Amino acid sequence: MILALDAGNTNICVGCIDENGPLMTARVATDRMKTEDEYAVILGSILQMNRIRPEEITGAIISSVVPPINRMLMLAAEMVIGKTPILIRPGIRTGLKLMVDNPDALGSDRIVDTVAAYHLYGKAAGKTAIVVDMGTMTTLSVVSKNQEFLGGIICPGIRISQRALAQNTSQLPSISLEAPAHAIGKNTVECMKSGAIFATAATVDGLIRRISRELGEDEPPLVILTGGMSKRIAPYCREKVIVDSDLLLKGLWILYQKNAPAKRRQER
């Protein structure tokens, strides 16, 4: 069992995972002001609440798109489990061929997502896979059946879009994010909810079709939705999608196996 941390702009997903999948997951707010000691207290508390002893954990791996907290998370994880974590960064073994202009600038979350999508879905099916990760940002990442990261799309996430509406207009309120009964809203809140949920689903559908046409392959790509908003949006997508909320944690497990210290020693 390993400790896996996925640090996003809004939340940090904390998980313990083994070869059978995630054993527990929790979310805490991303806070650039917290020290390594504070993060260590949080991690220790999460493990304790889930009745997991630090000595049961054989290693740790971290994916982060928030560089200012990387050092704190690394130190915190080591303080809690007594082992130095692996950090997803340029040079790590992924197995992917990165077919982009600047591989070093590619977000670690997108690398982890596509590693998982290839190994868990695309490889067996012999198909290209599109990962739609719906977090603070909505990203679409494309991995070919030949294990090539082909690129993708980045757009504002639902919460960013709704926050922008509320902050930059005089009469639009903040809303909760659930689907209204009808696409045609009868009041401001219903209209905004329709825009948040149905317009996002339509955007995902449209981008999937556009990417599929651009790929020009005989078989349609597999589409995997993940991230905090994926379960809310998937029911309203008209394209066929797979929802895997734990895709990134599963990808971290795969990458840990490729990069664990014992594995590196064996390959020397």
Annotated binding-site positions for K(+): 133
Amino acid identity, residue 191?
A: C
- CB-based contacts of 81, cutoff 8 Å, min separation 6: 3, 54, 57, 59, 60
* Residues catalogued as catalytic: 109
Count the Cβ atoms, other than its own, within 10 Å of residue 36.
17
- Which residues, in sequence order, are bridge partners of residue 139? 133, 154
Give the span between the Cα atoms of 203 and 141, in whole angstroms: 15
Angle between helices 36-49 and 70-81 (to 10 degrees): 50
Angle, alpha carbons 88-92-96 (nearest 5°): 105
CA distances from 17 to 1, 41, 178, 254 (A): 5, 20, 30, 10
Amino acid identity, residue 24?
A: M
